[in-house]
Structure 1
């Protein structure tokens, strides 16, 4: 199903990008993902084999009116094919295409204490130079286990400059001797 979600997301992104509405589609998808993920009745409806194709489409038209036309078209296709449960996965995949096109990425910065805005900006600037991204969307997470320093995660890459990691490295080096 993830392959299907990725294909839907890619098509939606291409159309949205061509029409200049990729930003608002992302916002709409973020909202849909949050609402749909939390609503169990939606899941029951989406998976109910007794609900007709026309009823699903009408539901989508009424419930999601106001979203951009490319997204509405996709929602109707999902309703028709009984794939409405893919909305959260499509949203996640869309976000990947959106971030790639905008040369941005999410960055998680773990530290022992809450970092100031200035510290976060400085870290962001350093990693922009290091990674080549134009923008990093930074979240600071408190992790007392680090002892000191920071650990950053950008996509699937981890940069560990924590005291905890340094101690592990020293321990490994000592054990190897």
Structure 2
């Protein structure tokens, strides 16, 4: 018989649900200086305010994406001594094939972005930065059957970051102005 009394429970006896509930992105061209930069990261979270590096009254657009389709990921790359850095990746769906969606997709052509997402536990995270943005790729279609997905799947992966995916400090989230849904 195995005694499990000595195994530490690092989950802190709290729920740990996956997935992101909200997704916002900002074109890297909008930033007047690098965000988040290394100086913006203190004790493992972003504390530097994005509003200090964006034009006055800039709003972050919130994307209305289907539930349970948003995923942010990170990994360390360059596994040779002195060459390690971080990779950031994302995936999300955009449902439908309307002319409005086509216009939105066109905004991503040769246009990198910084993404933030709100997790189910309320924590916001950032991937990418304005000097090394995420360049999204779209693939999609009509589907074959009535129950098939119709729309586009957005994926992206970039590397060369100084840090993994980072949480945003509460003051940073409070600093962000989100675009209201029409």
On whether the aligned pair clears a TM of 0.5, the verdict is no
TM-score normalised by the chain length of structure 1: 0.21
Structure (1/2) with the larger helix percentage: 1
Greater relative contact order (CA < 8 Å, ≥ 6 in sequence) = 2
Structure (1/2) with the larger strand percentage: 2
TM-score normalised by the chain length of structure 2: 0.20
Query: Who wins on radius of gyration, i.e. which is larger?
Result: 1
